[in-house]
Amino acid sequence: MEARTVLRFSFLSISLVLLFTFVHLPYAPPSMTDLLDCATNSPWCTSKNRIQTKQTNLLKEPPNRKRHHNHASDTPHHPLDPLTIQELKKVRSILSSHELFASSSYSLHSIDLEEPEKPLVLKWKKGDPLLPRKASVVARVRGKSHG
């Protein structure tokens, strides 16, 4: 009977010491960049191939990157480039000059660049004048869609 008591006491004391140790250990969680860096054998990369080349950190911005770009001065360089701000303003002025859109409020669903014919785009070379650019508009006025 006494051996059982000693065994219970030792088990309880060892459990309390372990619990106290784990609760009061200093632990600093790793930073997000350390977690995502595969070169440090982080938990993020345990399922990946461990033989990897060092990749650039995608979380940091490149040092030579411009923060802000004024898109108002953009010009298209290719026939399939998206519409520029100047072209979108031109679409707005054309719509506002139309009697249907001038007299009431409207909502635009889309403004898309109508792509030129494929053979024309394939013939076009850098430095050639741009092909004529057209925009198509889908708008809703007084409960009806117009395109």
Query: Are the C-beta atoms of residues 83 and 111 closer than 8 Å to each other?
Result: yes
- In tens, the pLDDT along 106-115 reads 788 888 889 9
Q: Report if residue 51 sits inside a domain.
A: no
Query: Are the C-beta atoms of residues 84 and 75 closer than 8 Å to each other?
Result: yes
- In a shared domain, residues 85 and 34: no
pLDDT at 40: 57
- In a shared domain, residues 138 and 89: yes
- In a shared domain, residues 38 and 76: no
> Model's pTM, two decimal places?
0.51
The residue type found at 62 is P
Q: Report if residue 58 sits inside a domain.
A: no
- In a shared domain, residues 37 and 79: no
Q: Which domain holds residue 15?
A: 2-45
Total domains in the chain come to 2
Q: Report if residue 81 sits inside a domain.
A: yes
pLDDT at 120: 92
pLDDT at 47: 55
The beta strands (E) that lie in the chain are given as 106-114, 134-141, 144-146
Report residues of the chain scoring pLDDT below 50. Answer: none
pLDDT at 144: 82
